[in-house]
């Protein structure tokens, strides 16, 4: 498996993806730097906005982390699933697939290679951010790494969705389908949307008998059974966007809000398991 991951890394390193990634990384760092500089000069109606230093830094980190996670989304959409499956689809992997390894290990090895690339991308971005932060504020922020670690979980799930859709629908349609899943998940994770959905309140006395049983698993305070069901649905939907939001909150060093978004992480893990299970089944049943 390690060999397959290494092969993916070598293919990426020598292909067009590498210079493109460097360019994207430079773009993310530039955006972070501009944000760090610009947050001191914000004005509303010509009046300077009163932001203290920590708020400015948090704003810049938020923009930078969002930029990196979005760029990795592009990388995964256009390159990542191809790195996992491309060689098998084009017959270039005939030698590897005739080796005494299971199809599951083949997929795992190749996906591990892509996630290694994603991790390196994040690591490079974090180093750049910390250098820029240190030059601006004279201090470092460990929270950014914690946030990035959580976002990588969401990105592993997205890669699984991409591989599954590509196996099921083919290259272009697969990427389109995965993008739609990501957009839907991101929309559902929006705090505003959640707030408006959860505002549908019903008096507790008309709630069904089973609600108290479910309540501990739903998280948060009871806000009415219909709203609780909507909340559960939001959490059960492939929570790529939710997990990314949690990661960004962590990177900003602020409490994860709303608190029940923590439930996105086990949700992401469960969905990741299902998606990868489906991918392996499709991969095993196909002729290569």
Partner 1 sequence: MSGGGIVWRSVSKSFGALPALVDLDLSVERGEVFGFLGPNGAGKTTAIRIAASLARPDRGEVLLAGVPASRAESRRAVGYLPEDLLFPSGLRLGEWARVQIRLRGRDLSRLPHAAERAGLSNRMDGELAAFSKGMRRRAGLLLLLALEPAIWLLDEPTADLDIAGREMIENAIIEAKGKGATVFLSSHILSEVERVCDRVGVIEKGRLTRAAPPADLLPAPFLVDLVLPALPEQPAALLGGRPHVANREARRLRVFVSDRGEGNEVVRALEEGGFPPRETVFRPASLRDALGEVSR
Q: Which residues bind partner 1 (CB under 8 A)?
A: 3-4, 6-7, 10-15, 87, 90-102, 105, 285, 287-288
The least CB distance from residue 258 to partner 1, in Å, is: 45
Q: Which two tokens stand for residue 57?
A: 């830094």
Distance CA 33, CA 136 (A): 9
- Three-state SS for 48? strand
Spell 124-162 as b/e; 16+ CB within 10 A means b: bbbebbbebbeebeeeebebbbebbebbbbbbbbbbbbb
Q: Which is nearer to partner 1, 95 or 209 (CB)?
A: 95
Residues 185, 161 contacting (CB under 8 angstroms): no
Q: Which is nearer to partner 1, 255 or 285 (CB)?
A: 285
The least CB distance from residue 109 to partner 1, in Å, is: 9
Q: Which is nearer to partner 1, 101 or 145 (CB)?
A: 101
Q: Which two tokens stand for residue 66?
A: 């969002």
Q: Which is nearer to partner 1, 104 or 211 (CB)?
A: 104
258 φ/ψ sector (left φ>0, alpha ψ -120 to 50, else beta): beta
The least CB distance from residue 209 to partner 1, in Å, is: 50
Q: Which is nearer to partner 1, 3 or 53 (CB)?
A: 3
The least CB distance from residue 101 to partner 1, in Å, is: 6
Residues 191, 258 contacting (CB under 8 angstroms): yes
The least CB distance from residue 95 to partner 1, in Å, is: 5
Q: Which is nearer to partner 1, 5 or 246 (CB)?
A: 5
- Three-state SS for 122? helix
The least CB distance from residue 17 to partner 1, in Å, is: 10
Distance CA 155, CA 62 (A): 17
The least CB distance from residue 227 to partner 1, in Å, is: 48
Residues 247, 264 contacting (CB under 8 angstroms): no
Picking from 168, 183, 172, 188, the residue whose alpha carbon sits closest to that of residue 235 is 188
The least CB distance from residue 85 to partner 1, in Å, is: 12
Q: Which is nearer to partner 1, 229 or 288 (CB)?
A: 288
- Three-state SS for 221? coil
Distance CA 180, CA 156 (A): 17
Question: Please, which residues bridge with residue 47 across strands?
Answer: 44
What is the Cα gyration radius of the chain?
A: 21
Q: Which is nearer to partner 1, 91 or 216 (CB)?
A: 91
């Amino acid at each position: 498996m390690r060999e397959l991951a290494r092969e993916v890394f070598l293919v990426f390193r020598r292909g067009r993806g590498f210079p493109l990634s460097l360019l994207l990384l430079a773009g993310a760092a530039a955006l972070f730097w501009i944000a760090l500089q610009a947050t001191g000069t914000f004005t509303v109606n010509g009046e300077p906005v009163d932001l203290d230093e920590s708020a400015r830094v948090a704003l810049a980190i938020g923009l930078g982390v969002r930029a990196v996670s979005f760029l990795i989304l592009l990388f995964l959409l256009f390159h990542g699933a191809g790195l996992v499956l491309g060689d098998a689809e084009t017959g270039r992997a005939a030698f590897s697939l005739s080796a005494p390894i299971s199809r599951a290990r083949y997929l795992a090895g190749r996906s591990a290679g892509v996630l290694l690339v994603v991790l390196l991308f994040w690591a490079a971005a974090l180093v750049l951010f910390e250098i820029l932060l240190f030059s601006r504020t004279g201090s470092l922020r460990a929270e950014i790494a914690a946030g990035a670690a959580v976002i990588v979980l969401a990105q592993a799930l997205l890669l699984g969705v991409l591989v599954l859709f590509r196996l099921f629908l083919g290259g272009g349609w697969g990427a389109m389908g995965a993008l739609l899943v990501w957009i839907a998940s991101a929309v559902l994770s929006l705090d505003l949307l959640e707030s408006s959905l959860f505002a549908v309140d019903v008096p507790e006395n008309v709630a069904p008998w089973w609600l108290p049983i479910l309540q501990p698993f739903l998280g948060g305070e009871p806000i009415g059974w219909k709203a609780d069901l909507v909340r559960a649905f939001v959490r059960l939907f492939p929570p790529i966007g939710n997990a990314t939001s949690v990661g960004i909150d962590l990177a900003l060093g602020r409490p994860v809000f709303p608190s029940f978004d923590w439930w996105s992480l086990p949700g992401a893990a469960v969905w990741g398991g299902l998606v990868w299970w489906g991918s392996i089944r499709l991969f095993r049943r196909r002729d290569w």
